[in-house]
Amino acid sequence: MEKKNENIQEEELKETEELTEEKNEDLEEIEEVEEVEENPVEQLEQQLDESESKYLKLYAEFENYKRRSREETERNNKYKNQSLATDLLSVLDNLERALQETGDSESFESLHKGVEMVYNDFLNKLEANGITQIKALDEPFDPNFHQAIMTEAKDGVESGVVIEEFQKGYLLKDRVIRPSMVKVSE
């Protein structure tokens, strides 16, 4: 009877091992199926992330392009009158020279007054369009705004101060369109 019991136990043990192996195989198959099912989802998520990253990069690049274009347009509009202003400065210089002339007759006085009115109106129109004179006389010399054509030692004046202005300088907004020609103290 013991042999029968042993045989039965051995058979049961074999059956149990076979069942365990089958279950393990089934589990492995299920895990493989789950992996296959997860891979497409993971792949799609990865593709979505990549597409989203590309979109964000392109969007940022386009926003930078729009900003640069806007800044360039603003800069062009800001300084669009520069060549006209530069051309008109010679007219302004001639008006200033005309105002420096002196005379005694009544007709000269009225002509002088008329030229002065034109000069003042001309200056007002330039200022209304962002063109201003550079202040130079008695100011510290600044090579960004002044062009030194002479130096001279002068008593009571610090070194590096503008003591005489030969030609006025002008700014268009914040850009120098003509520097002031000056004499600087030593």
**pLDDT tens-digit map of 111-121:** 999 999 999 99
Q: What is the distance between the alpha carbons of residues 173 and 96, in angstroms, rounded to a whole number?
A: 22
What's the average model confidence in pLDDT over 14-30? Answer: 73
H-assigned helices in the chain: 2-78, 82-100, 106-128
pLDDT of 174 > 90? The answer is no
For the chain, percent of residues with pLDDT exceeding 90: 44
Would you say residue 37 has pLDDT above 60?
A: no
User: What is the per-residue pLDDT for 30?
Assistant: 67
116 CB neighbour count, 10 Å cutoff: 13
pLDDT at 1: 55
Identify the three-state secondary structure at position 167: strand
Q: To the nearest whole number, what is the mean pLDDT of the chain? A: 85
Tell me how far CA of residue 41 lies from CA of 35, 46, 50, 85, in angstroms. 10, 8, 14, 66
Are 183 and 163 within 8 A, CB to CB? yes
Whether this model's pTM surpasses 0.95? no
pLDDT one-digit tens code per residue, 113-149:
999 999 999 999 999 988 999 999 989 999 999 999 9
C-alpha 181/C-alpha 12 separation (Å) is 114
pLDDT band at 79 (very low <50, low <70, confident <90, very high): confident
Residue 95 pLDDT > 70:
yes
